[in-house]
Structure 1
Amino acid sequence: MNKLIFVNLPVTDLARSVAFYEAVGATMNPMFSDETAACMDFSDTIHAMLLTHEKFSSFTDRAIPDAHKTAQVLICVSEDSREGVDGVIARAGSAGGQADPNPKQDYGFMYGRSYADPDGHIWEIMWMDPEAAAQGPEAFVAQMGGA
């Protein structure tokens, strides 16, 4: 079985967050969703668990930071093309998120942009040329102007 990733995110308005993530391409998995949580599937292996603050707090004693002011993680998901990256960012902006809270990254062989969801969680969306990826890390350093 492939390893699965479940990113747990505290949200202030579960219904708003579900609508936002559906707009950027995720689908809600009802098997792992209820009035306190929604499992949003991006693929067979990538899932975001949107949790009300009360539900999130049941898993940890740590304070829930305001993601509009602090960053604990940056989540990165790949797309199949540069146009796919741009499409996700456009949908995020149209659905109430913030497009490009961080600068775009364009190295020719690798392209990335980001969005912040309504709660401020930042997702990076990236594309990498498969031929460049097959050349290994030395090729990346050379293409980025490194030693």
Structure 2
Amino acid sequence: MRVLLQRVSAASVHIGGQPVSEIGPGLLLFVGIAQGDSMDTVARLAERVVGYRVFADSEGKMNLDVRDAGGELLVVSQFTLAADTRRGRRPGFGPAAAPENAKVLYQAFLSALTSALDETGVPVRSGVFAADMQVQLINDGPVTFLLEST
């Protein structure tokens, strides 16, 4: 499982020109689920995301997580993150989880994030699994990290 985490000033998802989800300052998470990922993988990465310190404190250092910063989350499924890109000029999608398995784990990831943030009031919004989405974002920094389960 891979999560491409981007600190954003704003982000939104549209499908067919219609808005689906949007957030203000917070984190945009692109999530790729691979074969072999499990509920344990989901729990570990959700915990890391919630506690990942990418927001500046009063001294300008990245010491605050999304809860401390009062940010929002927008989670978008992106199976291309699970691609094998080690050789050639075309990605291989063999490592990606089968869609039916990936959907279950994606939904579990959303639930884990929501549960972890429930008491803080941090909203968790999402795109639509396996949909053709248009994602707009204003990357703040830019700050982008790739979190991996292995």
TM-score range, shorter chain: under 0.3
* Rg (Cα) greater in structure: 1
Larger relative contact order (Cα-Cα within 8 Å, sequence gap ≥ 6): 2
Higher-strand-fraction structure? 2
Question: TM-score scaled to structure 2, two decimals?
Answer: 0.27
Question: TM-score scaled to structure 1, two decimals?
Answer: 0.28
